């Protein structure tokens, strides 16, 4: 019955002896990330070569407590890109959230936070900074949380000389 399942599969895993030894060593050492060990176990169970077990995707998913889709993606990636591609984490640049404050915008935010607050205000608040950076077209939009996180990154530098404010900014180059 396993032969029928293998014949129907689009991505058949056939590991060489060298690849099999490498995956077995990776699992036995236990010093690799869990995701990497899982992928190695998937490939070993899916191996349809003479030395392999040739388990079905559903059997592998049940045994390793993962999804059938994860098993199928590992098979596909092995056939299309090789063992190294399966074992390395693939990050898409499109999936990462883009930074709202780049270096230039961050510098303008810091300068604004260290400047004298508007008339009628004793100090800059995060909400006031949020409104002002948008009004001044420093950024298109920003939340008070984003502004707070951005300013927090620079607190380890000398203090602003602004009305006793506790905000810290980098020292200007001499």
Q: Per-residue pLDDT tens for 54-97?
A: 899 999 999 999 999 999 999 999 999 999 989 987 766 676 67
Quick check: 53 and 88 in contact, CB under 8 A?
Answer: no
Taking the domains of the chain in order of start, what are their residue ranges?
2-87, 98-174
92-114 mean pLDDT: 83
Quick check: 43 and 94 in contact, CB under 8 A?
Answer: no
Pick the closest to residue 54 from 1, 4, 6 (CA basis): 6
Amino acid 98: pLDDT: 77
């Amino acid at each position: 019955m396993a032969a029928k399942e293998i014949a129907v599969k689009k991505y058949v895993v056939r590991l060489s002896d060298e690849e099999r030894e490498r995956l077995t060593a990776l699992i036995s050492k236990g010093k690799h990330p869990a995701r990497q060990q899982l992928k190695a176990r998937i490939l070993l169970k899916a191996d349809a070569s003479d030395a392999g077990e040739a388990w079905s995707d559903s059997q592998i998913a049940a045994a390793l407590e993962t999804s059938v889709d994860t098993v199928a993606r590992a098979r596909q990636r092995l056939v299309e890109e090789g063992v190294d591609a399966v074992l390395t984490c693939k990050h898409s640049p499109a999936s990462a959230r883009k930074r709202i404050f780049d270096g230039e915008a961050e510098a303008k935010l810091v300068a604004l936070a260290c400047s004298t607050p508007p008339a009628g205000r004793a100090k800059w608040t995060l909400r006031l900074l949020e409104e002002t950076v948008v009004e001044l077209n420093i950024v298109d939009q920003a939340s008070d949380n984003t502004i707070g996180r951005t300013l927090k990154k620079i607190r380890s530098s000398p203090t602003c000389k602004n009305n006793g404010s506790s905000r810290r900014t980098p020292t200007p180059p001499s």
